[in-house]
Chain A
Amino acid sequence: MSLSRRSLLKGLATAGAGIAGLPAAGQAKELKRRPDDAVGLLYDATKCIGCKACMTACREANGLTAAERDGKWYDPQSLSGNAKNVISFYRGPKGEESFMKMQCMHCVDPACVSVCMLGALKKGDKGIVTYDADACVGCRYCQVACPFNVPAFEWGKATPKIVKCELCRDRLAQGKIPACAEVCPRHAVIFGSYTELLEEAHRRLATEPKRYVPKVYGEKDGGGTQVLYLTAAGIPFEKLGLPALGEKSVPSLPETIQHTIYKGFLAPVVLYGALGAVIFRNRRKSAAGGEEGDA
């Protein structure tokens, strides 16, 4: 933690506020913004036909070879150590139906990145949330923190890793696009720059307002994500497993509190000094006034 003069002054102010328990410093943390070159996916649930070609393509592109259920099927029931991308199915009380594609949302301000001790999960190039096993101790705090329950853990391995979609970043490096988007026969999931995707999503909402729930999920939800969703009218996003998160990112509040208390590490240092002084004083007092000092 480098301590410039400015941050020191700022720290002094916020440390004071923090000790007093004031939420005033809460405004200090602005909503994080997407990087300008952010890329992502747009999934249009109304276009998906549930063929699962994306699941197979994902599995092949990411070297996830394990098959489930008697070794005959590749049909993970949720994101797991074998599955970075899952197509699921929703049927509502009135018989309304929709498919749903789940993979990492590549949040703008990801909870997993916020909690990761050594930065094994990082916001990398183009805003992709990347994983580096070398810096991972396997504490699984990312799993606890992720509001979308995305990171998965290899429970059956002696040397497990965290498994999650990294937007096929090695394919991107080769000039290809993510496998799921490449293989989708109906372009239900498309890959592109975030701005283009958002534009496209709004274009679809504008041209066919009756077709969709009038909202692009991920534009602002949970502080914004780089994977965007459109869903059919009458099927709320929550039913498809996308929680109503509000516009603030999950880490924004705890980070604000934590940063306020520990800004520049001042508060702990001050507290330590104070504790030391009190102990020292008490000790002298009791040395002078006998063993059983009772202040």
Chain B
Amino acid sequence: MSFTVVKAQPGGELPGGEALTWSDGGLGRREFLRRACIIAAGVVGLPSSAAAKMYEETVVKGKKPSVIWLHFQECTGCTESLLRAEHPPLDDLLLDLISLDYHETLLAAAGKQAEAARTQAMRANAGKYILVVEGAIPMKDNGIYCKVGGKTAVEILNECAAQAGAIIAIGSCASWGGIPSSDPNPTGAVGVTGALKGKTVVTIPGCPANPYNFLGTALQFATFGTLPALDSKGRPKFAYGRTIHEDCPRRPHFDAGRFALKYGDQGHRDGWCLYQLGCKGPVTHANCSLQPFGEVPGAWPIGIGHPCFGCTEQFVGFSIAQSTTVPIENPTPSTTFAAVNSGGGKMGVAAVGVGGAILGAVVSAGYKFSTTLDAEEPSADEEA
């Protein structure tokens, strides 16, 4: 599959009045990389001029960011999803946009040779290279539960982090520990932030993380030397600033109160809101609905009819059962309206009964008492 350039209608989306279409045709490799930069810049929320600059710096001038990619306790899912990004395809990414100097999955070298490539890249790009960490770091028993080339994960991490220009934790495992850290956390697994105290770590949580959130961050650093704005958990705000719930394609069903109640029921088939099935969208910050994985629209849990799992959110994903519903973090007004005079207040039947009974008892007892006084002899009356 490749792309063709067609004349765009007025107001076309791309600089230069062109638009991308899905068809065979002659889109040059260079042009294609320009597109990749545009998408990456768009993801980070930078203007199109920034995309041009990214392209200029990386492709034209060949100043590709050196990337050292470490794997610890993980499943390599984040790498796999990165490799499935369509813009750019794997070869362009590796050969033109970044310089992937060390990556255990992709490295041709093995053993000592591979480790040597790492140290050499670190020396050559000291203070400039991007350190990407995939996977959690075990801390228990001096970190013996994950070793590469005889060194523990935490040792390698510290070594590589010392001279890194930027540190990116990709995936939920690297962000806070992810699956390896879930109860009872036998290896004492933590995220990069937990293992590297005091360093700025960009976390790109997700299981797997969306590759564009990573690429956008990496290219922004490579081009401008800056990192995107981060939230309190180190996540780029451009991707994690809002909850799934806020941008959910099924949101109108929520607002209208239409919920799927069982997997496969009519509501589920009709694409209604998955909240009652335990969707974690209302508390999970991520841009899944806006930036599809691998550019396949709908290729994410809610898109295929599965409630959000909360994978980008510590204490939600891998912590709360899928079927458990969560409180709404940022409730918005419903689509129904209060009446001008809504009415209200409490008037219980029991309350009225009790109140009436007491009043009745007092009055009737008083009356009864007064009749006993009537019965008294008048002489007693006049005593005083």
**What residues of chain A have their CB less than 8 Å away from a CB belonging to chain B?**
50, 52, 55-56, 67, 69, 71-78, 86-90, 99-100, 239-241
Bound-complex Cα distance A163 to B193 (A): 41
- Given A77-B344, A78-B344: A89 and B339 interface contact (C-beta under 8 Å): yes
Q: Which of B254, B328, B338 contacts A76 (CB 8 A)?
A: B338
Residues of A within 8 A of B254 (CB): 72
Residues of B within 8 A of A87 (CB): 333, 337-338
CB distance from A32 to the nearest CB of B (A): 28
Q: Are A240 and B340 in contact (CB under 8 A)?
A: yes
Considering the complex, give the chain B residue whose CB is closest to the CB of A56.
B332
Residues of B within 8 A of A72 (CB): 254, 275, 328, 331
Q: Are B337 and A50 in contact (CB under 8 A)?
A: yes
| Subset of 30 A-B contacts with CB under 8 Å | A50-B337, A55-B333, A56-B333, A67-B327, A67-B328, A71-B328, A71-B331, A72-B254, A72-B275, A73-B331, A73-B333, A74-B331, A74-B333, A74-B334, A75-B333, A77-B338, A77-B339, A78-B338, A86-B338, A88-B337, A88-B338, A88-B339, A88-B342, A89-B339, A89-B340, A90-B339, A90-B340, A99-B337, A241-B340, A241-B341
CB distance from A80 to the nearest CB of B (A): 9
Residues of A within 8 A of B337 (CB): 50, 87-89, 99
Interface string of B317-358 (1 = CB under 8 A from A): 000000000011001111011111110100000000000000
Considering the complex, give the chain A residue whose CB is closest to the CB of B341.
A241
Considering the complex, give the chain B residue whose CB is closest to the CB of A75.
B334
Bound-complex Cα distance A76 to B334 (A): 10
- Given A67-B328, A72-B328: A89 and B338 interface contact (C-beta under 8 Å): yes
Residues of B within 8 A of A241 (CB): 340-341
Bound-complex Cα distance A60 to B217 (A): 30
Known: A74-B333, A78-B338, A88-B337. 14 other contacts (CB 8 A): A67-B327, A67-B331, A71-B327, A73-B332, A74-B332, A75-B334, A75-B336, A77-B339, A77-B342, A86-B338, A87-B338, A88-B339, A89-B337, A89-B339
CB distance from A149 to the nearest CB of B (A): 10
Considering the complex, give the chain A residue whose CB is closest to the CB of B339.
A88
Among A75, A89, A90, A240, chain B packs the most CB atoms within 10 A around the CB of A75
Q: Are B334 and A69 in contact (CB under 8 A)?
A: yes
Residues of B within 8 A of A78 (CB): 338, 342, 344
Bound-complex Cα distance A50 to B275 (A): 25
Residues of A within 8 A of B327 (CB): 67, 71
Residues of A within 8 A of B333 (CB): 52, 55-56, 73-75, 87
Residues of B within 8 A of A89 (CB): 337-340
